[in-house]
Amino acid sequence: MPILASLRQRGHHVTIFTLADELGHLDPLGIEAFAIDALVELIQIKDWQARWSWRASLSVIDTFIERARYDAADLTRAIATHDPDVLLIDINCWGAAISAEASELPWAMYSPYLLPLSSRDAPPFGLGLRPTAGLLGKTRDAILHRAADGGFARFIAPALNQLRTRHGLPPLTGFDAMLERPPLLLALTAEGFEYPRSDWPANVRLVGPMQWAPPQAMPPWLLHMRGPIVLVTCSSEYQRDARMVEVALQALPPEGISVIATTAANDPRAFNVPRGSKVVRYAPHEAILERAVCAVCHGGMGITQKALAAGVPVVAVPFGRDQHETARRVEVAQAGVRLHPRRLTPDRLLASVQMAIDRRAGAQRVSHAYAAAGGAEAAADACEALA
């Protein structure tokens, strides 16, 4: 949204295809908005139903592949109707990326997540491994890179390459090849949080995170909160992370720390809330972060980077998806603490929050790195250059 708003302010006509319930937020910005194919919205991530982590990962991949069959056609129709000069595609819209490439229009991909690119300077993506130097680290990384390529060839390539063939495009052999296709790949993060690399592909531009939310009124109860405040927030894509809120409500209020929890995909009525704390489904995170001493979250890139951009340290409790990678970078950047869900107890969470508060300087270093990356204006410059 900040990229599109910047382009609109520069006088460009901007059209977006997005979730149906987001359309009402876009008219005030002068952005023409349409709903994506309703069939895409019906295909929801269900990795939380899997018993094993590897099955959960395959479930997410299956979701993106199933959506790809519809979002490819959806973008093809949109191009025919609107005749755009430049395309900007979400990294998770695998079919739309194929349609964009086949259109031969200038196009960019943006990623609000960490990029799963192989690098000699970073460990293989997915397991949240700590960077390790020396022969042992290089051997570990080489073995896992080969395993990742094998996984792509077995679980992703057949369906994705079948769709590419239908659009007259050559097959892909790995994630790196998939992410090298767009002429411009906007990574919405920055070194300082992401691992520094000497081998970023030529199409990658790190521009820092984009902070945007629909306008929300300041909740009156926030003005009456007392003592140090910790923001606890769950994933907007359902997963079994409600225990994080339960443990925070047990651990922190007895120590004089007020909890504000946003439950998102979880029902806020399911929690016993001590006096002086608050549990709601949604609340304006920016306003809360202005007063928070720490954020406890599932390690999603959205809330993690939002907290760090505000200079607020994070306790990341990764439940799956890309969250183990995000949590590890919080730890390596000394911008907070990584706490495994299996170790999530009141005592350990309290200790982790206290340790994270002491790492506020690390969070502020990350915040400065984000600001130096250029943000929406740098991304808009790059999109204009495509045209």
- For the stretch 311-320, pLDDT in tens is 999 999 999 8
Burial of 275 (0-12, 13-18, 19+ CB in 10 A): exposed
What pLDDT sits at residue 378? 97
- DSSP for 1-41? -HHHHHHHHTT---EEEE-GGGGGGTGGGT-EEEEPPHHHH
Residue that is written with structure tokens 């000394």 in the block = 334
What pLDDT sits at residue 285? 93
Q: How far apart, in Å, are the Cα atoms of 262 and each of 110, 200, 241, 286?
A: 27, 36, 12, 13
Mean pLDDT of residues grouped by 10 in the chain (387 residues)?
94 95 86 93 77 73 89 95 97 95 97 92 87 84 82 83 94 90 97 95 96 83 90 88 95 96 92 94 92 96 96 95 94 97 96 98 98 97 94
Show Cβ contacts of residue 309 under 8 Å, excluding neighbours closer than 6 positions: 209, 211, 366, 367, 370, 371
Helix (H) or strand (E) run with residue 296 in it = strand 292-297
End-to-end CA, the chain: 20
Whole-angstrom Cα distance, residue 382 to residue 226?
A: 44
What pLDDT sits at residue 47? 67
Burial of 104 (0-12, 13-18, 19+ CB in 10 A): exposed
| One-letter identity of residue 107 | W
If DSSP codes are grouped into helix, strand and coil, which group holds residue 77? helix
The pTM (predicted TM-score) of the whole model is 0.91
What pLDDT sits at residue 226? 86
Whole-angstrom Cα distance, residue 383 to residue 87?
A: 9
Show Cβ contacts of residue 82 under 8 Å, excluding neighbours closer than 6 positions: 15
Two tokens at 266?
């979880």
Residue-range domains of the chain with CATH: 36-206 (3.40.50), 220-370 (3.40.50.2000)
How do the residues of the chain divide into helix, strand and coil, expressed in percent and rounded to 5? 50, 15, 40
